[in-house]
Structure 1
Amino acid sequence: MPKYSRIFRNLLLSYIVILIIPNVAGYMSYRTSISVTESVSIENNMTQLRKSQEILERRMAEVESFTRQMALNQDLQVLMNEKGSDDRVNLYGIWKANQDIRAFSQTNDFLKQFYIYLNNYNVVLTPASAYMQPERYYQSVYYKDVPVEAWKKDVLERTHNREIMPLRPAVSNSVETSVITYMQSLPLDTFNGAARATVVVVIDESMIASLLSDIQDRYGGWSHISDAEGRTISLAGIGEADISRLSSDSRFDPDKESQFYNDDLVLTIRSHTNGWVYRAGIPRQVLMENANKIKSITWTFTGTALILGLLVGLLQAYRNSSPLHKVLNVMKEQFGKEALTGRNEYDFIHGNISSMITNNRRLEAELNRQLPLIRDAFLKRLISGEFRSQEEIAAAAAQAGAGLQVERGSIAILQINGYTGMDSVEILNELNAARLIAKQALQDLGRPLHMTDLGADRVVAIFGAEEGEGSQEAGDMEIERLLHELVQGVFDEYKMTITVALGNPFANAMEVSHAYEQARQVLEHALYSNRKGVLSYREARLESDTYYYPLDIELRLISTIKMGDMDEAKRIFRGILLQNMENRELSLEMRHQLVGELKGTFLKLLHQKTFLESGFFEQLKNRIVGMQATEEIQVIAEQMEVLMEELCGFITSKKNDHHNKTVEQVIAYISQAYSDPDLNLYRIAEQVERPEKYISNLFKEVTGMNLSDHLEKVRMDHAAELLRGRLYTLDEIASLVGYNSSHSFRRAFKRVVGVSPSAYRQSMSEE
């Protein structure tokens, strides 16, 4: 500690200052928070009220959904459509319907007490029992202010459409309570008293009030819910008289979301779904209690944070001063202790780190100075064809900072004329100046390009295509026009003659080396024939003692045919013919050798394993050997293109056969394992040992049908067969065809077949 106590003290002091600043800011925030506590409390309680509204509306929507499910219940529909009579009652159907509705009372608190009245049988169905006389049911569950005859007339015999009876006193199993009643006639589209059944859901007020109980229990407030006509749905913590007085008071605005009334904060929400009004009241003193809590909590946490902050500051000052001391010792060892004389520790460290940063920048600057050489080396590798793939070119360009974005373009070689001997410094200096002039002229063309020197008197320029330039031929003609202007402009201004050799356009970076080779050949031809100006490859018919058929082009042709890509194979083949027959003047002997090389390429292809095992190997081999080099080149080209079509067709056919076998394997596996509920795309792909995406796309391509749809159809076909047999229940059939849920099975069957399983079984029985 004594060795670096000054560093320790400085760090500790800074931590204390850092602690004081947020504490002052915290105090100011505390004073501000007291003033906004009221608005925050209003917002929080409004949020709570909205959540209660959302929950209640969702529960009421579930009640409505329940009535729709009853409307679709097959057993209930059968009962509703029967003609009831006193001497003939479908007791089994009533018992079956009673069993169907029993589970609903256990899924939703709002459905604990409901009943269904069947008009034709004068029967009341409840989750617990069936009452053949409605009066007997009304003896145990009844409204205190409604006699039985009025109940039958207003509830059972009337037509209801999502009707809600407001809050009224009732007795349920000798327990007095208050309830609201939801009523829906069946069928759902019933009008003018033609209802066949009525679904009645009796909802205890306590269940609704419990959704707003937080406001009453937490704040000692009150809550009230009324329907669109102002009739009470639920109230808690306040009487009906107080609500009436509140509503009639002119000082109270019923449309205002939050307001103070008699020292109560009254929050109001009106539902856009059903028009219900939700109100809650919170005493004003409760809001101020929250402010006092904030005050107490703020001071407690501020004091605790200050003490803990001091302790943490001591620890951090000690921990952070220790590594600084170690760094200081290392620097003293490297730079000498005398360097610290008259300076504090921070200045010493700062000075030495600044020195290291300066040295690092010098090194970085030196590397940047070398970057043009790296970029130049990259361009030389590119034109010499040393790269093997587009990815390798992109990586090397990024490393050299070349920013190569060449998708298509052209390449040109500029030859500076007039300098024969290069054995003197003066001539080399003149050439250097001439190259700079040529490069500047190229830059002034205003096109994207890359340049590199080729010896003392040559410059290679790689032109990229500009956006919106149109076809490649148009771009090449524009480059040629600009080069003509460059040659003329340099001559007019500097009396310097330049010969420009322009290769054919290239389609990607991999073809740059081929385009350069063409430009080099054009330049040699121009120098030999003493041509000046701009000469393009397409204009120069080069006499050549050799044919054009490099190894990489041969390998590309072989690999393309092996993949079955006929269009690309023809493009490469015709490009070879174009280079040799139109752009060169081959001697008869060179033509014969070129044909021999092409025949050798096809013989290499035939000796691949894929073709050796085919039945037409010998036939194709004899056809290739039988091609005569003395025939017209067009005839030989047509024969070779036919040969390529046959080879690519064989590859494509083999692929299709393999695809069909894979699909047949998938279909066979599904026909065996369709009853497995865990059968999915992953399991099928694992069985046939292929990727999931491949199997999915292949099945769709071959059959025209999604794999999931085929699996579902297979299951439904077997389900239909089992339904015709009538040996299994619907739940058993669902399990037998691979469904864990009978509900999911029913939906799938109706989607595929068009009718429900029970309707399908019934129709088969009638047939």
Structure 2
Amino acid sequence: MAKDSTIFRGFLISYIVILIIPSIAGYMSYRTSISVTQSISIENSVTQLQKSQQMLERRMAEVEGFTRQLALNQDLYVLMNEKKPASNENVYGIWKIMKEVMVFGQTNDFLKNYYIYLHNYNVVLTPGSAYFRPEHYYENAHYRDMSLQDWQTNILGRTHSREMMPLTPFITNGGETSVISYLQSLPLDSFGDEAPATVVILIDQKTVASLLTGVRERYGGWTYVSDSEGHAISTQGIEPAAIDAMNSDAGFDEGKQSQFFGDDLVITIRSDSNGWVYRAGIPRDVLMKNANVIKSITWTVTGAALVIGLGIGWVLSRRNSAPIHRLLGMMREQFGKEAPAGTNAYDFLQGNISSMITNSRWLETELERQLPLIRDAFLKRLLAGEFQSREEIHAAAEQADLDDTPTCGYVGILRIHGYAGMESVEVLHELNTARLLLKQNLRELLPHILLTDLSSDRVVAIVTIEDEASGKAGLAQMMEPFVASMFGEYKISIDGAFGSFFTSEMEVSRSYEQAKETMSHAEYWQRKGFFWHDDIRQESATYYYPLEMELRLISTIRAGEAEEAKRIMRSVIQQNTEQRELSPEMAGQLIVEVKGTLLKLLDQKTIMESPHFEAVKERILAVALHDSIPGMEAELLDISETLCGMIVSKKQDLHSQTVEQIKQYIAAHYSDAELTLYRIAEQVERPEKYISTLFKDVTGTNLSDHLENVRMDQAAELLKRSSVTVDEIAASVGYNSSHSFRRAFKRVTGVSPSVYRQSFQ
């Protein structure tokens, strides 16, 4: 408070003003009386319901344990698996089993009424009797709405596994009651239509209801228990019709813990273990009984609220002023100056933040100013053929803020005629103006054209055109009136040359070289106008295979881009067969050069390790001039595609090895809480962004999700096979916080760690 205390006082005063508003105190006093009454009643009811739930689930667990003990009883196992003698029953074995299981009903009222049906003997065993004909047992005890045939088919003749029948009317010894039935076939892993034995435990509704009397004794009202499918288990104080009406009412939310329905406050809890629903209804008049008592202490509560509010206001003032103090400290540290005298902290922050925004805008302006330079550099690299793959071109285009890269069209060189050999300052200024006018009018004519300066009197244009045949004619028709308008309006005379049609970003440099060749041809013959590379006659007797095209072919194959490699190979063959007439000696020399290029690629380790190395080498050496041109072209294209396939296959193997190395490292170090993407990247000696993208591409899963899944799998094993606490498990699988571990476990598995462990216990 000694330093910058005005900020703290400003927060504190605002909280005090809010606290002393008298209308809020009066309103809240009454609302508190209602809220407290409801919350106490809800809390007590929930507690009582939870106790009843725990008791009922414990008793049901004992019922399940009883069936498991029967499954482990050796005498019963022998009895239910032996073949029935032809002449008499195994009376002694049956009597022994009855004697062994009678003791359970004496200690557990849930086990007072049960029977065991042995299929091989067709006998029903109860705690006090043995019925060698099931019809006799049915005459003494049976479900009211189930015939003998249905009972024998659905209960005795089927396999059951921890099956629970809902509340059903049951007649025994001439009297009627309602029971829930627990059915289990023996052995426990029985399957099929019939099991050797079936255990049926009949639990009287009154026995279940006795566990829920705590709620009714305290508040009156009613209680209701149903299974996960909505079938009634126990009802007290309410009719089934009222329950059905409540559940079918659109305004009743079955998932809400407490809500008013009619004149009752309905409390609902749901068991996580078996999905049973426990509900209790508290009459509204009982709920409001203590409201008047609470109203009498309203003023006391209001006074206490003021005191507590002052304390909370002081704490909040300290907490809310702390970030501003830290921000001030950071500003002083970064800018190395204190707030001027006579200004408060907010003015100091405003001034520095304003300066930061100004600097940021200046940087943004500088970047925008340099954007044309970046774009011009990109176009010059594209024309020079410096890019080795489409991905590299697209990345550079995005950096230059170009939405689309030219995929097909023409490259042309436009020359401002009449300035050759003139280098004075005035002429250069005039040329600059002429170039600007030329580019401005070209952009108006062709909005998607890309332009860059080649020299003081020349401009390179990349024109995107979809169709080669119609595009060339259309471009020629547009250029004629354009040239006339430039001369008529600005007295600027223009001529130019265009290369052949390119069909890929990687062929732009080839079209540019052809445009330069065409321009040189026009200058040599002192011709004016526009010329196309396809129209000039190749008078050279040498073959066309420049170094830059060879390097581009090599880099494309090394990148594994088969289609681009075949396009370059076709271009080489087309240039030397369709546009040139080579002598046999020159054609043979060209074939030797192309074979040499392909043989250079065989020195690459990736290809040398391939099992197809020798076969590809023999195919390259076998290419000869005496073959037909189409056949030779098809063979060279197929060899190029094969080389690309070998490289791509090797890259995929390397990627899989890297991913497997990442998985092994995670499997060995998942318990390290400091295991991060940086640590993993450091281990495999790759950039973080690279391994993250690579892992996603190969496995289809994010690297962070894989690490979390590995940790959850290990945690699940520990929960199943050990008795260590959840906190210890969280620490052992790399979590510093058990709370974070619990949230992650539930997100991955759908259940909490404790529920997961209980499901296996």
TM bin, normalised by shorter chain, reads: 0.5 to 0.7
Q: Distance between the aligned counterparts of 1:694 and 1:374, measured in 2? A: 31
How many Å apart are 1:443 and its aligned residue? 1.6
Q: 1:533 to 1:125 in 2, by over 3 A?
A: farther
How many Å apart are 1:116 and its aligned residue? 4.7
1:547 to 537, 543, 548: 543
Given that residues 546 and 586 in structure 1 are in contact (C-alpha distance below 8 angstroms), is that contact kept between their aligned partners in structure 2? Answer: yes
- Paired AA for residue 166 in structure 1: T
How many Å apart are 1:500 and its aligned residue? 3.4
- Paired AA for residue 520 in structure 2: E
Q: Distance between the aligned counterparts of 1:152 and 1:178, measured in 2? A: 9
1:501 aligns with 2:497: yes
How many Å apart are 1:603 and its aligned residue? 5.0
- Paired AA for residue 510 in structure 2: H
What SS does the aligned partner of 1:543 have?
coil
How many Å apart are 1:313 and its aligned residue? 2.4
1:392-432 CA deviation, whole Å, 9 max, x = no partner? 44444444444454444443222222333433344333323
Q: 1:266 to 1:446 in 2, by over 3 A?
A: same
Q: 1:432 to 1:509 in 2, by over 3 A?
A: same
Q: Tell me the equivalent position of 1:525.
A: 521
- After TM superposition, the structure 1 stretch with the greater mean CA deviation from structure 2, 399-408 or 570-579, is 399-408
Q: What pairs up with 1:270-281 in 2 under 5 angstroms? A: 280-281=280-281
1:11-47 CA deviation, whole Å, 9 max, x = no partner? 422343156448969867887787899999999999x
Q: Distance between the aligned counterparts of 2:527 and 2:111, measured in 1? A: 100
What SS does the aligned partner of 1:429 have?
helix
What SS does the aligned partner of 1:387 have?
coil
- Paired AA for residue 10 in structure 2: L
What SS does the aligned partner of 2:545 have?
coil
What SS does the aligned partner of 2:445 have?
coil
Given that residues 598 and 620 in structure 2 are in contact (C-alpha distance below 8 angstroms), is that contact kept between their aligned partners in structure 1? Answer: no
2:531 to 510, 532, 535: 535
1:526-557 CA deviation, whole Å, 9 max, x = no partner? 33344444433333344346533234543565
1:159 aligns with 2:150: yes
Q: Distance between the aligned counterparts of 2:569 and 2:307, measured in 1? A: 86
Given that residues 83 and 120 in structure 2 are in contact (C-alpha distance below 8 angstroms), is that contact kept between their aligned partners in structure 1? Answer: yes
Given that residues 140 and 172 in structure 2 are in contact (C-alpha distance below 8 angstroms), is that contact kept between their aligned partners in structure 1? Answer: no
- Paired AA for residue 14 in structure 2: V
1:179 aligns with 2:179: yes
- Paired AA for residue 528 in structure 1: Y
What SS does the aligned partner of 1:499 have?
strand
What SS does the aligned partner of 2:418 have?
coil
- Paired AA for residue 310 in structure 1: W
- Paired AA for residue 386 in structure 1: E
Q: What pairs up with 1:364-763 in 2 under 5 angstroms? A: 364-403=364-403, 405-464=405-464, 479=475, 482-484=478-480, 486-491=482-487, 493-544=489-540, 546-551=542-547, 553-554=549-550, 571-584=567-580, 590-601=586-597, 603-604=599-600, 624=621, 627=624, 635=628, 638=631, 642=635
- After TM superposition, the structure 1 stretch with the greater mean CA deviation from structure 2, 373-382 or 529-538, is 529-538
What SS does the aligned partner of 2:150 have?
coil
Q: 1:529 to 1:552 in 2, by over 3 A?
A: closer
- Paired AA for residue 307 in structure 1: G
TM-score by length of 1: 0.56
1:463-516 CA deviation, whole Å, 9 max, x = no partner? 346xxx6x6666666555544553354345445332232333444433332222
Q: Distance between the aligned counterparts of 1:326 and 1:612, measured in 2? A: 58
Q: Distance between the aligned counterparts of 1:696 and 1:323, measured in 2? A: 44
- Paired AA for residue 535 in structure 2: E
1:229-261 CA deviation, whole Å, 9 max, x = no partner? xx986233x3xxx859x979xxx9997577989
How many Å apart are 1:346 and its aligned residue? 5.2
Given that residues 616 and 639 in structure 2 are in contact (C-alpha distance below 8 angstroms), is that contact kept between their aligned partners in structure 1? Answer: no
Q: What pairs up with 1:60-75 in 2 under 5 angstroms? A: none
What SS does the aligned partner of 1:454 have?
strand
Q: Distance between the aligned counterparts of 2:92 and 2:552, measured in 1? A: 80
How many Å apart are 1:168 and its aligned residue? 6.0
Q: Tell me the equivalent position of 2:313.
A: 309
- Paired AA for residue 308 in structure 1: I
Q: Tell me the equivalent position of 2:679.
A: none
Q: 1:262 to 1:394 in 2, by over 3 A?
A: closer
Q: Distance between the aligned counterparts of 2:116 and 2:124, measured in 1? A: 5
How many Å apart are 1:435 and its aligned residue? 1.8
Q: Distance between the aligned counterparts of 2:464 and 2:289, measured in 1? A: 75
Given that residues 84 and 121 in structure 1 are in contact (C-alpha distance below 8 angstroms), is that contact kept between their aligned partners in structure 2? Answer: yes
How many Å apart are 1:124 and its aligned residue? 1.6
Q: Tell me the equivalent position of 1:673.
A: none
The answer to which structure, 1 or 2, has the higher relative contact order (CA under 8 A, 6+ apart) is 2
Given that residues 447 and 464 in structure 1 are in contact (C-alpha distance below 8 angstroms), is that contact kept between their aligned partners in structure 2? Answer: no
How many Å apart are 1:222 and its aligned residue? 1.7
What SS does the aligned partner of 2:414 have?
strand
Q: Distance between the aligned counterparts of 1:651 and 1:368, measured in 2? A: 40
Q: Tell me the equivalent position of 2:655.
A: none
Given that residues 180 and 233 in structure 1 are in contact (C-alpha distance below 8 angstroms), is that contact kept between their aligned partners in structure 2? Answer: yes
Cα RMSD of the aligned pairs, angstroms, is 6.9
How many Å apart are 1:372 and its aligned residue? 1.9
Q: What pairs up with 1:123-138 in 2 under 5 angstroms? A: 123-124=123-124, 131=130, 133=132
Q: Any gaps of 5 or more consecutive residues in structure 1?
A: 68-75, 139-146, 270-275, 660-690, 698-767
Q: Distance between the aligned counterparts of 1:232 and 1:375, measured in 2? A: 75
Q: Distance between the aligned counterparts of 1:618 and 1:363, measured in 2? A: 58
How many Å apart are 1:310 and its aligned residue? 1.0
How many Å apart are 1:577 and its aligned residue? 1.0
What SS does the aligned partner of 1:414 have?
strand
Given that residues 410 and 502 in structure 2 are in contact (C-alpha distance below 8 angstroms), is that contact kept between their aligned partners in structure 1? Answer: yes
Identical-residue share of aligned pairs (%): 42
Q: Distance between the aligned counterparts of 1:486 and 1:383, measured in 2? A: 24
Q: Distance between the aligned counterparts of 1:290 and 1:413, measured in 2? A: 95
Q: 1:363 to 1:135 in 2, by over 3 A?
A: closer
Q: Tell me the equivalent position of 2:748.
A: none
1:16 aligns with 2:18: no
Q: Any gaps of 5 or more consecutive residues in structure 2?
A: 68-75, 156-164, 253-258, 270-275, 653-693, 701-761
How many Å apart are 1:284 and its aligned residue? 1.4
What SS does the aligned partner of 1:444 have?
helix
How many Å apart are 1:438 and its aligned residue? 1.9
TM-score by length of 2: 0.57
How many Å apart are 1:519 and its aligned residue? 1.9
Q: How many residues align?
A: 601
Q: Distance between the aligned counterparts of 1:93 and 1:565, measured in 2? A: 81
Given that residues 541 and 585 in structure 1 are in contact (C-alpha distance below 8 angstroms), is that contact kept between their aligned partners in structure 2? Answer: no
How many Å apart are 1:282 and its aligned residue? 0.9
Given that residues 606 and 612 in structure 1 are in contact (C-alpha distance below 8 angstroms), is that contact kept between their aligned partners in structure 2? Answer: no
Given that residues 548 and 580 in structure 1 are in contact (C-alpha distance below 8 angstroms), is that contact kept between their aligned partners in structure 2? Answer: yes
